[in-house]
Amino acid sequence: MEEQYKMTEDAQRSPVIEPGYTFGTVTEKISAIVLTRPASNGWFLGFGIAFMLTMMMLYAIGYLFLKGIGIWGANIPIGWGFAIVNFVWWIGIGHAGTLISAILLLLRQSWRNSINRFAEAMTLFAVAAAGIFPLIHVGRPWLAYWLFPYPSTMGVWPQFRSPLMWDVFAVSTYATISLLFWFIGLIPDMATLRDRAAHPVTRIIYGMLSMGWRGSARHWHRYETAYLLLAGLATPLVLSVHTVVSFDFAIAIVPGWHTTIFPPYFVAGAIYSGFAMVLMLAIPIRKIYGLEDFITERHLQNSAKVMLATGLIVAYGYGIEAFMGWYSGDRYDAFTLWNRLHGPYAVPYWSLLSCNIFIPQVLWIRKLRTSPVALFLISGVILVGMWLERFIIVVVSLHRDFLNSSWGMYYPTRWDWMTFIGTIGMFLAAMFLFLRILPAISIFEMRTLLPEAEVKAE
Amino acid sequence: MPQIFHRSTNTLSRATIFGAVFVVAALGWVAMEVQRSPYVTYAGVRRPQPVPFSHEHHVAGLGIDCRYCHTSVETSSFAGIPPTKTCMNCHSQIWTNAQLLEPVRASYRSGESLQWTRVNQLPDFVFFNHSIHVNKGVGCNTCHGPVDQMPLMYQQESLQMEWCLNCHRAPEKNLRPRDQVFNMRYQQPTGINPVVVDGQSFTDQIELGSALVKKYSVRNVKDITSCSTCHR
């Protein structure tokens, strides 16, 4: 019975790794990207553009430090603007990495082995991009360390009752655990690279990073324990980080923010955008580096299904928000809904509904779920949609609150745009470097997927 | 394949990781200490003045009251720096030829103020008011230290926010009867040396302070530690 089930399953699904590979060829194929393959002109072009965008971001931030946040469009009543929109967007994108690496590990979803490494890297770079925004938004960034509780000469602690304070802890914990998880997962692969590297300097660098890994049974035992423990630690973070981020809004009384649906709906949205980013990166990477055998149709399909499911949760969130606008009988809530649909920001709101709810429904079609080009485009649409969602939440809720005398409009300035586009550049530049410096796919975890790795009863 | 690293690397790396914990902890401790040291706060640093005015001589030696020069201390946020005229009340009669006092006479002749170097300086975002403190029973030397023993003026305390809050969080630890505010020799009550207020004798500072908090209607700790009490 079980055999039969397994067979039909296998027949339906494309494999996690195409047949015909051995331990040696898997290792060779992945490590060659780092060790032997020369950097192509395309890589230099892509990295160059991303690097220039990073410089643009630094320029925008430098000017910001010189002039203050008056150069941005954020002003009362919209005190949050792009900085918080982008922060929430980036931190949400980061979530897919932890979901793939920790939760799918605990659920024994072995298909994750092909994509967890670069999804984790993506998480780290996304969190780094996210972290920039609150820091530069505090107005006097050189005093941003005041956010941390330390025995200061002021004799006061930060306001622990503020969700912004919780944010500091949620995000910094998340960044730390993600980094550790990523690094520990890299150790056996660093050792592989150390052993295969030809140049002595390369050998020393990878040797130091592999922390004396020799692949002994004791090493593997400790490694597995540590990895599992970290996965256990990281799992609640997938849910908690964006929950805390959503508290930044939900704790406030502003109509459009003050709602209990926010935590689950934020987490779903985070995973939604995270998987979209994973696909947007995986599809070109597998094409350019010829990794279609490792990142197969199965991975694309599974990611698409996750997006479809989380997208529907997000749609449910929108639905509940609209329903509560009517059902609560609260005129301010009702007005928020009306204002979204018909107010000055109606175009972004309708685009948001199209990008996040209507267009992704094509993922129900199997053919589109397996088409890399279609998936790439849909992922792009979802990323735009999720950015618009945060824009709607931050800007539209703030621009018309209880008193019409304090209504206003928000117009981002070129500095807002330069900083935002610059962080995309920074993120991509980091990804480009990562591809050339570290194995983008976990070598040893891929080897466990091979038939050779199966332990047969004698 | 030859070994990449020497055997000693094992020990070295362990020692480095273990040692890093202590190095980071030590750096944190040093940062805390430096932040509170006179290097940052200027507590105890004698500043150069145009005339080496001695509070010790004028207060302890001659017995001049604080308010003779700092006239607005009971009614204004600023205690007041005396005009040259105040100096000349006496110094037109005594030490009239002293070389040290030439800047004072020059100022009197020209009408231009002496440019004293400010010693107790709070940042501009702090709204400090002398009159409220004096009227609620905070003695001059509680904050300014033993001014009657300072040949050259220096700042006694750090003037950091934690120092302000030490008192604002427990005002009863420092209050004294209003008529003792300008007494530089005032001692907190003890069993041998009680302080009498309204016929009642106190032998313990906390009892005295609590009674004075009530008597002078000092607002509660929550009010006087609210941000906007000082940062308006």
Asked if omega into A77 is within 30° of 0 (cis), the reply is yes
Q: How many helices (H) and strands (E) does chain A have?
A: 18, 0
Q: What single string gives the DSSP state of each residue in A90-106? A: HHHHHHHHHIIIIIHHH
Q: How many domains does chain B have?
A: 2
Tell me which chain A residue has its CA closest to the CA of residue B1: A195
Confidence of residue B1 (pLDDT cuts 50, 70, 90): low
Whether residue B60 is found in the same domain as residue B18: no
Q: pLDDT at position A107, please?
A: 87
| Mean per-residue pLDDT of chain B | 93
Pick A151's closest partner by Cβ from B9, B10, B32.
B32
Work out the average pLDDT over B27-33. Answer: 94
Q: pLDDT at position A309, please?
A: 95
Kindly report, residue by residue over B106-147, the tens digit of the pLDDT: 999 999 999 999 999 999 999 999 999 999 999 999 999 999
Kindly report, residue by residue over A141-152, the tens digit of the pLDDT: 899 888 899 889
pLDDT beyond 80 at A212 = yes
pLDDT beyond 60 at A7 = no
Chain A residues 133-152 with a CB less than 8 Å from chain B: 151-152
Whether residue B169 is found in the same domain as residue B188: yes
- The tokens for A96 are 């897919």
Higher per-residue pLDDT: A5 or A67: A67
B142 located within any domain: yes
B128 located within any domain: yes
Whether residue B17 is found in the same domain as residue B120: no
Residues 6+ apart with CB under 8 A from B196: B202
**Chain Cα centroid distance, residue A86:** 12
pLDDT beyond 50 at A11 = no
Q: CA–CA separation, A76 vs B84, rounded Å?
A: 49
B206 located within any domain: yes
Q: pLDDT at position A4, please?
A: 47
Q: CA–CA separation, B108 vs B83, rounded Å?
A: 9
| Mean per-residue pLDDT of chain A | 90
Kindly report, residue by residue over A267-288, the tens digit of the pLDDT: 999 999 999 999 999 999 999 9
Q: pLDDT at position A187, please?
A: 94
Confidence of residue B151 (pLDDT cuts 50, 70, 90): very high
Kindly report, residue by residue over A87-102, the tens digit of the pLDDT: 999 999 998 888 888 8
The shortest C-alpha distance from A204 to chain B (Å) reads 7
Neighboring chain A residues of B35 at a CB cutoff of 8 Å: 153
Whether B166 and A155 lie within 8 Å, measured CB to CB: yes
Whether A207 and B13 lie within 8 Å, measured CB to CB: no
Whether residue B19 is found in the same domain as residue B46: no
Neighboring chain B residues of A200 at a CB cutoff of 8 Å: 4
Name which of B162, B164, B169, B228 to mutate to probe chain A: the one with the most chain A Cβ atoms within 10 A of its Cβ.
B162
Q: pLDDT at position A399, please?
A: 93
Whether residue B129 is found in the same domain as residue B32: no
Q: pLDDT at position A458, please?
A: 64
- Grouping H, G, I as helix, E, B as strand and the rest as coil, residue A1 is coil
Whether B161 and A203 lie within 8 Å, measured CB to CB: no
Q: Which DSSP state fits B157?
A: S
Whether A153 and B4 lie within 8 Å, measured CB to CB: no
Whether residue B56 is found in the same domain as residue B71: yes
Phi/psi for B138 (5° steps) reads -95, 120
- The tokens for A152 are 């200061």
Whether residue B162 is found in the same domain as residue B192: yes
What pTM does this model have? Answer: 0.88
> In whole angstroms, how far apart are CA A17 and each of A14, A102, A103, A353?
9, 21, 21, 36
Consecutive H or E run containing A416: helix A414-437
Whether residue B132 is found in the same domain as residue B179: yes
B88 located within any domain: no
Higher per-residue pLDDT: A91 or A1: A91
Confidence of residue A33 (pLDDT cuts 50, 70, 90): confident
B105 located within any domain: no
Query: Which of B222, B196, B73 lies closest to B139, judged by CA?
Result: B73
Name which of A143, A153, A196 to mutate to probe chain B: the one with the most chain B Cβ atoms within 10 A of its Cβ.
A153
The shortest C-alpha distance from A336 to chain B (Å) reads 33
* Full residue range of the structural domain in which residue B204 is found: 40-81+116-230
Whether residue B30 is found in the same domain as residue B55: no
Let me know: does A443 contact A30? Beta carbons within 8 Å: yes
Helix segments in A199-330, DSSP class H: 200-209, 217-250, 262-288, 297-327
Whether residue B168 is found in the same domain as residue B57: yes
B106 located within any domain: no
Count Cα atoms within 13 angstroms, Cβ side, for B224. 20
Kindly report, residue by residue over A397-423, the tens digit of the pLDDT: 999 989 989 999 999 999 999 999 999
Kindly report, residue by residue over A115-165, the tens digit of the pLDDT: 889 899 999 999 999 999 999 998 888 998 888 998 899 999 999 999 889
B55 located within any domain: yes
Long-range contacts of B9-15 (CB under 8 A, 24+ apart): B9/A212, B10/A212, B13/A211, B13/A212
Long-range contacts of A194-202 (CB under 8 A, 24+ apart): A194/B4, A195/B1, A196/A27, A196/A31, A196/A35, A197/A35, A198/A35, A200/B4, A202/A35
Residues 6+ apart with CB under 8 A from B201: B194, B195
Chain A residues 180-199 with a CB less than 8 Å from chain B: 194-195
Q: pLDDT at position A13, please?
A: 65
pLDDT beyond 60 at A12 = no
Is A67 buried (19+), middle (13-18) or exposed (0-12) by CB count in 10 A? Answer: exposed
Q: CA–CA separation, A390 vs A265, rounded Å?
A: 12
Pick A203's closest partner by Cβ from B4, B13, B160.
B4
Kindly report, residue by residue over A170-203, the tens digit of the pLDDT: 999 999 999 999 999 999 999 999 999 989 999 9
Whether B165 and A155 lie within 8 Å, measured CB to CB: yes
Neighboring chain B residues of A153 at a CB cutoff of 8 Å: 35-36, 158, 160-162
Q: CA–CA separation, A73 vs A81, rounded Å?
A: 7
Whether residue B176 is found in the same domain as residue B223: yes
Helix segments in chain B, DSSP class H: 8-36, 38-41, 55, 66-69, 84-91, 102-110, 130-135, 140-144, 161-168, 205-215, 221-224, 227-230
Kindly report, residue by residue over B64-114, the tens digit of the pLDDT: 999 999 999 999 999 999 999 999 999 999 999 999 999 999 999 999 999
Q: pLDDT at position B49, please?
A: 93
pLDDT beyond 50 at A10 = no
Q: pLDDT at position A20, please?
A: 83
Whether residue B49 is found in the same domain as residue B75: yes
Work out the average pLDDT over A59-73. Answer: 94
Q: Which DSSP state fits B204?
A: -
Q: CA–CA separation, A290 vs A114, rounded Å?
A: 13
Check if A404 contacts B (Cβ < 8 Å): no
Tell me which chain B residue has its CA closest to the CA of residue A194: B4
